[in-house]
Structure 1
């Protein structure tokens, strides 16, 4: 995979066959009516409003999106705000048939829960997504924050698919028990339960509540990542990448922040596209990806 490049969308114009930023008088890309040739923008980071960027992607081009928006439509992100409806509509359009969007989100707590995540989930359904699963991201070491309620230690992971998911590689975990055990089978004709000796399975598919440590060392060992206010665990991104995509698929993060999704896509031999409106966060993401690329090159 090619080296990550920190590209401002105002410095890129899509030509009919390729992106060539060397011999052009630059204009604001958002004022130019063009559609990206996806193969030419793979494995890159872009500074842009994600809606403006997605409008320039062709239909049905993304295998998997993993992203975590700022909590609630009311919350700004490094000075910027987001248009959820437009983000959702464009995600549906660019997702391949059978593709998946993993939407990791929590609710703002201010005089009770806002329930914005629920409203977002319902809107995703309204525009055509299938709610394939509602999973829980459970945080192992969340500090106590509320005096009049139980500690909030989870976020939702909405698994949205465009039709039936085309890829599912279930993650397995070891079972508690192994060996052989007498298990009840069908009843005999006299009504007595019949017991047979069966070998217990040594592994099973994980359930849909996933536990992750948070904070330095748990979320990531990349110290620079914590300059971003809401880093989610690398293992969380990796588990979803392994579950819902295959090697060489395209993994997209329209609000990539410090680049966790892109980093884990690169490590697991997927193509990535990362977009963030904040140049500061794209710089952090680039640092993290450069480390990975250097390590892969040395190997």
Structure 2
């Protein structure tokens, strides 16, 4: 996969604002573009992106060197560039301020819904560690993964890696369904397989993640397996995946492994350089995700 970096400081960026990305879209494929997502997204053609996966800054929980973003501007552009049947994976949480959770995550989810996206699923990313433990509430160890879609998702490749306890047994009872005339149809019992479809709470081992964040100089890098499993679930090979807050390039690494096309946008020059080198040098990393067709 070719990955070329557009290193654009703000002064230089002003000189290329007239560049018509919509007429030269292919030149931006498999690129890390350094600039403001609110501006760069406007240059992407309507309904040209198959999948968007990102973990945006929220509630000032991390130090992003003074960079901020206006959520509504980004959300509007995200909805515009997403294809019919395309999927947005929005990974976000909430801070606790003055003793109350901000509910930023739900406010953002409702805003995406108001723009016409379906909230296809509300998933949970459960970590195995926590920071800033509280003595007045249970430890916070998860973030939301809102799955939005423009219409029904055009692709769903379920990950089949949940070990079935009752493997080899027949399903209990008979599956029945009421017909329109009031009668019942009966399906035969089936044998329970070794693996079933994963639940929508994804548990991840975050051991070593803090050291990885320090190594890559990025304060909030999500794990590679998380990006890979979502990309496997919601896209096909050669689809275009966008990360408008690409940070150290995790989504780009996942796309390189899985033969998806990638566009990354990152506002901070240092992270752009890190993302470029990381994607360029990335090699396949084994994971245990198992995909089988559902019967």
TM-score of the superposition, structure 2-length normalised? 0.84
Look up the SS of the partner of 1:255 in the other structure.
Answer: coil
2:41 to 54, 76, 82: 54
Alignment of 1:87 with 2:77, yes or no, is no
DSSP-derived class of the 2:91 partner: strand
Aligned mates of 2:266, 2:220 — CA distance in 1:
14
Q: Give the number of the structure with larger relative contact order, counting CA–CA contacts within 8 Å between residues 6 or more apart.
A: 2
How much does 1:142 deviate? 2.5
On the 8 A contact 1:10/1:28 being kept in 2, the answer is no
Distance (Å, rounded) in 2 between the aligned partners of 1:186 and 1:263: 43
Equivalent-residue separation in structure 2 for 1:254 and 1:186 (angstroms):
45
Q: 2:197 aligns with which of 202, 205, 215?
A: 205
* Unaligned runs of at least 5 residues, structure 2: 177-187, 286-295
Distance apart, 1:197 and its partner CA: 7.2
- For residues 185 and 26 of structure 1, what CA distance do their matches in structure 2 show? 64
The correspondence for 2:109, drawn from 107, 116, 121, is 121
1:79 is displaced (CA, Å) by: 1.4
* 1:91-114 C-alpha deviation (Å, 9 max, x unpaired): 000011100110000011122210
Q: 1:198 to 1:127 in 2, by over 3 A?
A: closer
2:151 matched to 1:163?
yes
1:197, 1:76 → 2: CA distance? 55
Displacement of 1:202 after TM fit? 2.1
Q: Provide the C-alpha distance between the structure 2 equivalents of 1:252 and 1:245, rounded to a whole number of angstroms.
A: 12
Bigger CA radius of gyration: 1
Shift of 1:42: 0.7
Structure 2: distance between partners of 1:209 and 1:282: 31
Q: Runs of 5+ in structure 1 lacking a partner?
A: 12-24, 188-195
Tell whether the 8 Å contact from 2:174 to 2:189 is kept in structure 1 after alignment. Answer: no
> Cα offset for 1:10?
6.3
Q: How many residues align?
A: 271
Determine the C-alpha separation between the residues in 2 that align with 1:96 and 1:182: 39
Which residue in the other structure is 2:215 paired with? Answer: 224
